[in-house]
Amino acid sequence: MKADITQPSDRDKAILKMVIEDFVDTAHPVASKRLKEEYNLELSPATIRNTLHFLEEVGLLSHIHTSSGRIPTDFGYRFYVDELLESKVASESMRQIAMDELAAASFNVERLFQITANSLAQLNHLFGFAILLVDSRRKLTNLDLVKLSSGQVLLVLGFKSEKVRTVLLNLSLEIKDSLIEMVASILRERLIGLSVSDITKTIGNRLRGQSIFESEIIQVIIENAEDYFSVSSEDEIFSSTKDQLWQHPEFSEPDNMQSMINALDNSKTIRSSVDMSAESASLTIAIGSENSAQSMHSCSVVTKSMVLGENSACFGVIGPTRMNYAEVLTVLDLFASTIEKLNHA
């Protein structure tokens, strides 16, 4: 990604927006002649060519062949999304589709998320997915420590709406009964009522400064908090079929298609492409090389995070970087608000 300190002018931004939206619509590189004729620009061909050259110099556009038109870079799409994207309002018919699709499944979270993934794929002509992070907002309701032997202590954890979880702590030093009682009391005082997400992120800070902070048992619990306090090890991932993706020329080549199939068949690839630490109700967009997985560098991943009861959840789409971001964001916002309404109905 190349970024120049030179800031594009309003005219530069307007032409960049035209190039990107035209390329999204047609999948063809955009030349100065097309811009002049299609958008009735009151600029000379030379001025348009110079502007395109400038936008390429600062890393917002590129071209495949010397004689071809320009296409957006990942940096160009990022600038477009952050600076130039115009929000859209979902039509009444789109709102009705979302309500009709989701209402029948609102009583069942798994079915609701599967329908959401399928609907997002069909409406956006992309790959749709939904992830339910079961543990993240589940609250700790009880905690106890039970001494089994001089170097073994059982950590007993109770969570809202869940069975009790037990964890065996193997300590290298003998621990006194009085210290166990003190540690259990402080842990209860500092942690009960918090969500799993809050505990795993803040347990060290919450216990720092306590007289027992340096004790082996406290350090073992802090170091392994993510494992100890997680009720389930796997997030629930719901995904659409990949059929909608094959409409896009980016995946028309057999090698590109197979690479995409391999990536999306791996649930870890989908999970690693999503920032589940994002604040609730937030939208995130990862464009091309911004994705952590190498196999996703030709794609954009757009997600919406939300809180659903005791759980954190997100849903979104995966597709070529050449996607209609405005429409995708409109649909994601619409589905989030519809799910929110159904959840509180």
pLDDT digits (tens, 9 = 90+) for 35-48: 999 998 989 999 99
Q: Is the pLDDT of residue 345 over 80?
A: no
Count of domains observed in the chain: 3
Q: Is 245 found in the same domain as 118? A: yes
Q: Give the end of a domain, one of 206, 228, 250.
A: 228
Structure tokens that stand for 323 in this block: 């996607």
Q: Is 160 found in the same domain as 123? A: no
Q: Is 125 found in the same domain as 273? A: yes
Collapsing DSSP to helix, strand or coil, 303 comes out as: strand
Angle, alpha carbons 265-136-180 (nearest 5°): 130
Residues facing residue 285 across a β-bridge: 302
Question: Which distant-in-sequence residues (6+ apart) come within 8 Å of 315 by Cβ?
Answer: 113, 116, 117, 120, 128, 129, 130, 131, 303, 304, 332, 335, 336
Q: Is 253 found in the same domain as 303? A: yes
Q: Is 240 found in the same domain as 130? A: yes
The verdict on pTM exceeding 0.85 is no
Cβ-based burial of 234 (10 A; exposed 0-12, middle 13-18, buried ≥19): exposed
Q: Is 181 found in the same domain as 45? A: no
Confidence of residue 1 (pLDDT cuts 50, 70, 90): very low
Q: Is 251 found in the same domain as 130? A: yes
Q: Is 239 found in the same domain as 121? A: yes
Q: Is 216 found in the same domain as 196? A: yes
- Residue 245: give its domain's CATH number: 3.30.450.40
- Residue 191: give its domain's CATH number: 3.30.390
CA-to-CA separations, 124 to 9, 23, 159, 324, 327, in angstroms, rounded? 32, 17, 38, 8, 7
Q: Is 214 found in the same domain as 117? A: no
Q: Is 42 found in the same domain as 167? A: no
Collapsing DSSP to helix, strand or coil, 136 comes out as: coil
CA-to-CA separations, 256 to 3, 122, 247, 261, in angstroms, rounded? 28, 21, 13, 9
Confidence of residue 256 (pLDDT cuts 50, 70, 90): confident
User: Distance from CA of residue 154 to its chain's centroid?
Assistant: 36
Query: Domain limits at 285?
Result: 92-134+235-343
- The answer to whether position 4 is within a domain reads no
pLDDT digits (tens, 9 = 90+) for 263-295: 898 887 887 777 655 555 688 999 999 998 888
Q: Is the pLDDT of residue 128 over 60?
A: yes
pLDDT of residue 232: 57
Question: Which distant-in-sequence residues (6+ apart) come within 8 Å of 92 by Cβ?
Answer: none
Q: Is the pLDDT of residue 156 over 90?
A: yes
Note every long-range contact of 61-65, with CB atoms under 8 Å and residues 24 or more positions apart, other chains counting: 61/16, 61/19, 63/29, 64/29
pLDDT digits (tens, 9 = 90+) for 63-107: 887 667 999 999 999 999 999 999 888 889 888 888 988 887 777
